[in-house]
Structure 1
Amino acid sequence: MEINYETLIANLRKGKIDPLYFFHGPQDFLKEEALSLLISKLVDPNLRSFNLDILFGPDSSADEIFNLSSTLPINAERRLVIVREAQRLPVPSKNRLLKLLPHQSDTATLVLVCTEVKFNQKFYQELKKLATVVKFGNLAYGEVRRWLSSQAGKLGKKLSPEVINYLLEAVGDSLFDLANELEKMAYFVGERAQITIEDVQAVFGPGHPSEIYEILDLVGEKRMEPALRLLSNLFAYRKSPSWITASLRKHYSRLYLLKAANGKRFGEVAGELGIWESKRESYRRQVSSHSLDELKEKIYLVYDAELDLRSTLSRKLVLELLIYNLCR
């Protein structure tokens, strides 16, 4: 049986817990949330050493996993066995485990947690028949927004749509990073429920990596002076010059592809390039203020600056000249 993350969480909260789970997919933060909820539902904190085992695939054998999941729990209905990096179990152990799993005890829940999975392999094909399969895929833009609002609610805080936009533009879609920044902001505002953009900016402070996104917009709109001020902040906090040029190169490459795609709708191309919906109007303005030849020339300017960074001591001067030339 295959279910999604939302169904899994709903089931766990209702106490509907299956004996065997197969977790896979790239979204590790959601996996950790699900595992934490499973632990809270099945394991009394005072009995963790008796009723919870956490193993790692490369260091485990099929018999060890099966024996632990067959051990009777102490003062509980079930015990919990989690195998992290289960995809790295040795092949003989995978084959042996497939033979043992149909005989697993109903007094335990076993969770096999995988990252990279090749479903054309026999182990995973057979595992899908035996386990409750949960895919932890990357969230779409709207799902990340809802998740962020929900996380704020758990901390007793509220986020306006504008603050959510700002956070996503500044931090990106990494749930680990967003959760970390959100916890800082919740601590910063104290008992106040509403988190404002001013709060976010105060927590980030000067030189925060999020300022690169502001620089990209300012340079794309040919606003040199504020872009140079933010560049000084990044340098003051020792941000990598190569990271700055890589961000500029990616930005101008996106603008070029948007400009060049005359036969497609703007929103369609922006989606293919992974540009957040909240940023698309800014991109549209920047594209309209450049010709295709100008954008191509600016990409080459960034390439030249990257070469200059390897052969000069004044890296700040190289980037200041680059900002100047990009804004002309």
Structure 2
Amino acid sequence: MTAQEFETAVNKGTIPPLSYLYGEETFLIERAVHQLLERAIDPSLKDFNLNIFYGNETKGVEILDAAQTLPMFAERRAVLVKRADALKADVLESLLPYVRNPAATTCLVFTGAKIDQRKKFFQELKKQGCLVEYKRLYDNKLSGFIQSEAVVQGKTIDPAAAGLLSLLIGNNLQELASQIEKLAVYCGTRSRITVEDVRVIASSSKAFTAFELARFLGMRDLQNALKSLGALFRNGEDAPMMIGALTRHFRQLWRIRELLDRRVSQADIGRELNIHTFFLGEVVQQAKNFSRNDLERLFEELYRCDVASKTGGGQPATLMHGLVVGICTSSMVP
């Protein structure tokens, strides 16, 4: 079952007696669980009819006892097992009979980052259509997510504003949802979120400063890049986060550079990479500032700095300063 199918069914009132939600997108998993539990049990009776366990702390018998207990003063009870990927093999084995014949009066839901489909437990869940995967959203899906989150907040958002927000935040859905909520409050009675609104609200965030650093590096503007770097360090940001933001930005520039080398038109580049026309001219110009050889050396240096920052191979400020200067002056070591 896909995530969309699962959520559609739940929103229509179909409460599964058994489900296992897993994947990289923890924000969507947590929200789906919240929606499921809201519909599965009466909030006023939650103390009587909701049990929460953690896979790294619980035994199979505890989960089974809770799942087989009749609800109190209600039609259904719920049992939530978080970090279910930490359940031991013997616990999964003990749960197999229940998985094959779950109680109709219980909503048992597991959540975890990953599964092992070689195990009988997961094979049985798959057979019954109880496995629901939440994959990390690709960049070209972020605009749709942003649009839908704006609707949840009672607003619409300009496509260019959604594009800027996705560039600023990336695929951190928790942060995207938080920023959209702030934007909705900032807009007040206005129904539409604009690019200027995004600039105002996001300008104080670390994500905006990291975006600005990547932008200045793409422009090879050393003075402003160093100012942005200093601001990030003053705000307590760590080197791996900065390197991650830069890697994402220059990966896009590399893809643009490849298309430019193939003589693809700017308009076609925008369509292929899902870049809004509002930003297209600038990022294409940034890509023109680097050859593919430049970008290859740049990514080697990004990797070196990332490893060094995580293993004590140098002071973060020194590493990042050298990286910024190297990108802007083409002095990176081949």
Q: Could you state the TM-score of these two structures normalised by the residue count of structure 2?
A: 0.78
Q: Would you say 1:89 and 2:93 are equivalent positions? A: no
CA distance in 2, matches of 1:20, 1:42: 12
- 1:85, distance to aligned residue in structure 2 (A): 1.6
| Aligned equivalent of 1:170 | 168
Work out the CA distance in 2 between the residues paired with 1:205 and 1:178: 14
- Residues 1:149 and 2:152 are matched in the alignment: no
1:288 paired to 2:288: yes
Note closer, same or farther for the CA distance 1:182–1:326 as it changes in structure 2 (3 Å cut): farther
AA of the residue aligned to 2:209? E
Determine helix, strand or coil for the equivalent of 2:118. coil
Equivalent-residue separation in structure 2 for 1:300 and 1:131 (angstroms): 43
Alpha-carbon offset, residue 305 of structure 1:
8.8
- Say if 2:183 is the partner of 1:189: no
Instruction: Spell out, residue by residue over 1:41-91, the C-alpha distance to the aligned partner (whole angstroms, 9 max, x if none).
Output: 122121101111111122222222222122111232211111112222222
**Structure 1 counterpart SS, 2:20:** strand
**Range 190-199 or range 233-242, more displaced:** 233-242
Q: CA RMSD in A?
A: 3.8
Identical amino acids, percent of aligned pairs: 26
Which letter does structure 1 place at the counterpart of 2:45?
L
Greater shift, 217-226 or 244-253, is seen at: 244-253
Q: Which residue of structure 2 aligns with residue 6 of structure 1? A: 4
- Is there any run of 5+ residues in structure 1 with no aligned partner, and where? none
DSSP 3-state at the match of 1:54: strand
Residue identity in the other structure for 1:147:
F
Per-residue deviation, residues 159-193 of structure 1 (Å, max 9, x unmatched): 11011100100000111111122222222233332
Distance in 2 separating the partners of 1:125 and 1:174:
31
Following the alignment from structure 1 to structure 2, what is the Cα–Cα distance between the partners of residues 57 and 303? 34
Q: How much does 1:112 deviate?
A: 1.8
User: C-alpha distance in 1, partners of 2:303/2:106?
Assistant: 57
Cα deviations across residues 287-314 of structure 1 (Å, max 9, x unaligned)? Answer: 3343445545666887999999947987
State how far apart, in whole Å, the 2-side matches of 1:245 and 1:86 are: 31
| DSSP-derived class of the 2:207 partner | coil
TM-score, L = length of structure 1: 0.80
* Distance change in 2, residues 1:265/1:85 (3 Å): farther
Q: Which amino acid aligns with 1:108?
A: T
Q: Decide whether aligned partners of structure 1 residues 139 and 226 sit closer, same or farther in structure 2, where only a CA change above 3 A counts.
A: same
Classify 1:276/1:117 alpha carbon distance in 2 versus 1 (closer, same or farther; 3 Å).
farther
Looking at structure 2, the residues matched to 307 and 127 of structure 1 have their Cα atoms a distance apart, in angstroms, of 39
Gaps of 5+ in 2: none
Shift of 1:105: 2.0
Contact 2:247 2:299 in 1 (8 A): yes
The residue aligned with 2:118 is 120
User: Are positions 1:325 and 2:329 aligned together?
Assistant: yes
CA deviations on 1:140-171 (whole Å, 9 max, x unpaired) are: 34433222211111111221101110010000
State the distance in 1 between where 2:83 and 2:316 align: 44
Cα separation, partners in 2 of 1:85 and 1:186, compared to 1, 3 Å: same
Deviation of 1:228 (Å) = 4.7
| Gap change, CA 1:200 and 1:131, over 3 Å in 2 | same
Larger mean CA deviation between 120-129 and 209-218 belongs to 209-218
Q: 1:29: how far off? A: 1.4
CA distance in 2, matches of 1:11, 1:107: 18
Q: Which moved more, 1:317-326 or 1:146-155?
A: 317-326
Shift of 1:286: 3.2
| Structure 1 position 326, deviation (Å) | 4.7
Displacement after TM superposition at 1:230 (Å): 3.6
Residue 23 of structure 1: CA displacement? 1.5
Distance 1:161 1:110, change over 3 A: same
Structure 1 residues 102 and 123 mapped into 2: Cα distance closer, same or farther (>3 Å)? closer
